[in-house]
A and B are shown apart, each in its own frame.
Chain A
């Protein structure tokens, strides 16, 4: 074990919690639980912290704060969502001023449910986080040449699938908001379904400091056309060109195909703009349900 796993320093932030979880976090510091036994210190300073504990669903003013604290933590770092509100938005999920769970703002590594979350569960979660921290540290050391924060794009493996599903569901929340429709397929997909997808499709993932932040999948229809779908980038990392790089990478992996096809909703202007930039042009559209119409776009390999 390295020093990292013996000395996880945490920073705790309440993103709009009812304070139930906060009290439990602080309770873990008391003599009854004494997390300092494990070298855990509550630093109150992102620059010193390894683990970011967030309680409560994230309301709108706190989006920037949570991002800012996350940004100021040095790698390797791990984010833990404590309590049911932080993991999914909880009972505040549909609230007008709530963005959702923590993972709608920054990538989350460990979800600890509970209302309120128990100190034992917190400590258990931290132990889980330690494994992730250690993995990430080794990963960072491996690609010491690459500067930290660089996106690495590679083929996903079977064990990445649950994480990719998480990213997909986070990324497609904004789509659901556009159409006010939670029934969009990417949001409804189950682990069994995506595992089935994995058996017949090529999955690509975008990784930053050991954390999957984006993915795309695609398959060859056997007639020279590759269908690409479910391009997802975590909201925190959107607008950095990662989507373009992923699509370019997956296109490369179908050398036999001359034509590429991709589809999105008719009101998803950002997506259409992105695909347009990549050389895709609209060629047909068909209704999916009364609210949503799929727009199909294609591109010929030059």
Chain B
């Protein structure tokens, strides 16, 4: 199962398929959003056109080194996804993702424009808001399955709580963690009401927030990195369903749709609301779940 060749093939498939899937998802996203607003919406392949367009634009910068950070943001995001889909340690995946996110933030700080600076600061608050539940997800999955290895969780390999009904599907043991993670997903997918750092929609007080000063090929790179990231985030949702993959696929689809609905019906909140509520959710649902689980043990 874990031979090098096998891992290599999986990584290659991921490298090619993830951006295609991610781009398509973004297209579906925009189309469904448009329908919800009784518009027709752009073609399904619109995100790919956008990226192709951005790639052909002239590179402009404010600070000469600002794009280097984005290149590493891109590389590390891809690397993180690779780690995840070749089934390695979940904690390492989370740490690596944090690292890539930090490169993104530092790039925006480096650009030294007030809009990107505020965007970066807000992005940082967002990271702080979702980091606890992301780590608790790892903790919860570990308690439910006895391993941090993504591969083993997918394989449904080992369950110390086998005696409990439904123990072979982690989400049944971790409903609270799952709910809190969904809340954090709204932040991670940069959807309203938590699109504080960079909104998809124009005419906000922050211009384009964290991406304000990135343009052309660099912006294209940020977009593609987000596609990779989004696919991996859905992978996390999938993870909660262990070896029961049809349920996992349905859950991913439902989750994404849910995120869209919330995106379209909510106005953006201020950061204290986001931070308090995300931490509150983590505490009540996420940690509450962990407490229950540790009592069951």
Contact = CB atoms under 8 A, between A and B. Distances in A.
A245 interface: no
A47 B60 contact: yes
Contact of B38 (A7, A31, A140): A31
A209 to B, nearest CB: 8
Contact of A36 (B39, B56, B215): B39
B217 to A, nearest CB: 10
A7 B204 CA distance: 21
A36 B36 CA distance: 14
Given A4-B53, A44-B207, A37 B58 contact: no
Nearest to B48: A3
A48 to B, nearest CB: 6
A79 to B, nearest CB: 16
B41 interface: yes
Interface string B58-81: 111000000000000000000000
Interface in B141-156: none
B119 to A, nearest CB: 11
Interface residues of A, number: 28
B49 A48 contact: no
Contacts of A244: none
Nearest to B216: A74
Given A36-B42, A41-B202, A3 B212 contact: no
Contacts of A7: 46, 49-50, 52-53
A126 to B, nearest CB: 14
Interface string A2-31: 111011010000000000000000000001
A48 B42 contact: no
A48 B215 contact: yes
A253 interface: no
Which of the listed residues B51, B55, B60, B211 has the most CB atoms from chain A within 10 Å of its own CB? B60
A43 B212 CA distance: 10
Interface string B208-230: 10011111100100000000000
A34 interface: yes
A259 interface: no
A190 interface: no
A74 to B, nearest CB: 4
A147 to B, nearest CB: 10
Interface residues of B, number: 35
A287 B215 CA distance: 54
B264 to A, nearest CB: 13
Contacts of B202: 41-45
Contacts of B52: 2-4, 7
Given A3-B51, A42-B203, A45-B208, A74 B42 contact: no
Contacts of A36: 30, 34, 39, 41-42
Interface in A33-63: 34, 36-39, 41-45, 47-48, 50
B55 A3 contact: yes
Nearest to B61: A47
A136 to B, nearest CB: 11
Contacts, number: 89
Contacts of A285: none
Contacts of A38: 42
A243 B42 CA distance: 45
Interface in B17-63: 30, 34, 37-43, 46, 48-60
Given A39-B46, A76-B57, A148-B58, A45 B212 contact: yes
A47 B39 contact: no
A72 interface: yes
A39 B51 CA distance: 12
A72 B113 CA distance: 13
A52 B204 CA distance: 18
Given A47-B60, A74-B57, A137-B56, A34 B34 contact: yes
Interface in B111-159: none
A6 B207 contact: no
Contacts of A44: 202-204, 207-208
Contacts of B55: 3
B53 to A, nearest CB: 4
Interface in A158-214: none
Interface string A284-299: 0000000000000000
B160 to A, nearest CB: 51
B88 to A, nearest CB: 35
Nearest to B55: A3
Given A3-B48, A6-B53, 16 more contacts: A2-B56, A3-B56, A4-B52, A31-B39, A34-B41, A36-B34, A39-B49, A39-B50, A44-B207, A45-B207, A45-B208, A45-B212, A74-B59, A76-B57, A137-B56, A148-B58
- 9 tightest A-B CB contacts, nearest first: A3-B52, A3-B53, A6-B49, A47-B215, A44-B202, A75-B58, A74-B58, A7-B53, A34-B39
6 contacts: A3-B48, A6-B53, A7-B46, A36-B41, A39-B42, A148-B58
Interface of B: 30, 34, 37-43, 46, 48-60, 202-204, 207-208, 211-216, 219
Interface of A: 2-4, 6-7, 9, 31, 34, 36-39, 41-45, 47-48, 50, 72, 74-76, 137, 140-141, 148
